[in-house]
Amino acid sequence: MKNISLILNAFLFVAVAVLYYLHFSPKSNAFAGDSSATVSDLKIAYFNSDSVLKYYAFFNVNKEKLEAKGKQLDQDFRNRAQSLQNDINSYQRNVGSMTIGQAKAVEEDLGKKQQNLQLYQRGLEQEIMAEQTKMNEDLYTKITAYLKLYGERKGLQAVLKYDPSSDLLYGGKSIDITQDVITGLNEAFKLETSPAVKADSAATKK
């Protein structure tokens, strides 16, 4: 799931760009949307993305579903591959008693089965990749939406992502909002998955 963490890098890039602009621009320049904001007014925070992914229920639930589906599809592929191998073994045992025409027909059939198996494998890979991409997009959307609301409530101009690969080398505890982010995301997910909300959503779609 390395790609899951990578989708959050946009937070860092945007925040660093904002800081760079503020640092090298005259203090009289207007901050986006706030003509009175200067470098000294900048309020930032950061969150530990590894911790968020570890404790965010939405991510864990969907990761488990994706892993379970991957195992199921992998087993199905293995069963099909074993069936083809059995056919190949049978052909090799009996080829001596076949006519040239019979052997050729079996070989062609085995070749088609092998091609179909390869197509099936590629289809499975694309299916899993599509579902993982969809999960990544949903994860990004949910986290950015929550951070936007959180930032507006707390008066933040930027939120940084922290993990071992980020450029944030140090952040004081006073601006660490990791636990707030985990709590807020899980509360929102719990609300989304409650029976009442699901029923209301289904009724709205009708």
Residues 6+ apart with CB under 8 A from 77: 117, 120, 121, 124
So what's the pLDDT on residue 78?
Answer: 96
Give 200 or 171, the one with higher predicted confidence. 171
pLDDT tens column, 72-127: 999 999 999 999 999 999 999 999 999 999 999 999 999 999 999 999 999 999 99
Residues 6+ apart with CB under 8 A from 78: none
Give 205 or 142, the one with higher predicted confidence. 142
Residue 139, CB half-sphere, CA atoms under 13 Å: how many?
A: 27
Residue 25 has pLDDT above 60, yes or no: no
Nearest to 157 by CA among 56, 44, 46, 10: 44
| CATH 3.40.50.2020 corresponds to the domain 2-205 | no
So what's the pLDDT on residue 195?
Answer: 77
Percent of the chain at pLDDT above 70?
75
Listed by start position, the domains of the chain span 2-205
Q: Could you write out the three-class secondary structure of the chain?
A: CHHHHHCCHHHHHHHHHHHHHHHHCCCCCCECCECCCCHHHCCEEEEEHHHHHHHCHHHHHHHHHHHHHHHHHHHHHHHHHHHHHHHHHHHHHHHHHCCHHHHHHHHHHHHHHHHHHHHHHHHHHHHHHHHHHHHHHHHHHHHHHHHHHHHHHHCCCEEEEECCCCCCCCCCHHHECHHHHHHHHHHHHHHHCCHHHHHHHHHHHC
Q: Name the residue with tokens 């968020």.
A: 52
pLDDT tens column, 47-58: 999 999 999 999
